[in-house]
Structure 1
Amino acid sequence: MLCGQAIPTASRSGDLKIGGGFSTANSDYGPRFNGGGAYFDYDFLPHIGVTGEFHFVQGPNNLYEKTYEVGGRYYRTYGRIAPFAKVLYGRGVFNFPTLPDGFTANLAYNLIAVGGGADFKVKPYLYVRADWEYQEWFNFAQSSLSPSILTIGAAYRFR
């Protein structure tokens, strides 16, 4: 007749963070490229979620790499630190150097990326992130492009 269990009074379907930061890339095509990035994380299960990223890094002579990626992430929480690993698939746009006649080539390629990093909880709603990513662009100029990108940034966690 009596039940000792309580019914949950509140629940939510997931945890959303949106952020951005400074990115620097070690490109195969030239010197270091610098720029920025934005990302979101949506964690729908304990330790498992979805992540989406955008990077825009630019080098000399109007060279740039722009990427749009989405994939899965696995994370753990140890106090205020939450390390994570990620696997992403996306599209990259590469802007080749400006030619003497003023023309540029701007081509898009599919890519995969793996990486990881850590979020540090500053406040319940504010996280600071250090993130590293290795990308492999397919069929880039009859070869491949494999930049590695380091991003330092911050995110807001919606509660």
Structure 2
Amino acid sequence: MDLVTRLPPRIRDLNLSGSQFGNEHCNALVSRLPQLRSLELWRTHIERDAVIRLAHRLRCLEDLDTDIEFKATQIKMLEYHTTLKKLRCRWNGMISTRLCLTSSLQVFSGRFLRNSPEGPSAELFYFWTREAPLPAPSQLAVSCITVRCGPPDLNDYDSPMDSD
């Protein structure tokens, strides 16, 4: 994922959902975006343990949003993260945690769609594609990635312009 190495380093919110992002891209992400605060990883190729390691390496991370299923012990591991506050994931059973925990199953079940401050940035996409298999990396030429940058410095020419 050469794109990660070309992202502006001031990015604070990053959506890599629906991309070919996998375990092998974590080092580049941590190196390029150490100030990342919000990360969305739905329908990617990253494994559960790699997400936990990635979260701990992103020391400013406050919000992690994924469709991965975590076990209670793994959610407890994420509690040790000093800045993480919000976690959206799948899990089974009762979980007691200091994190603001939300179930990503609400999106997959269709009980929770838009018109709410909760939810992934493209939750209708995730709902309608929940049963479609992810394409192999060779089948996608371009990834769809959404980024939001922090406030640019006066002479910050690396920050992308807002097209809205």
Give the TM-score, by structure 2 length: 0.21
More strand by share: 1
Higher share in helix:
2
Q: Which has the higher contact order (CA 8 A, sep 6+)?
A: 2
Larger radius of gyration: 1
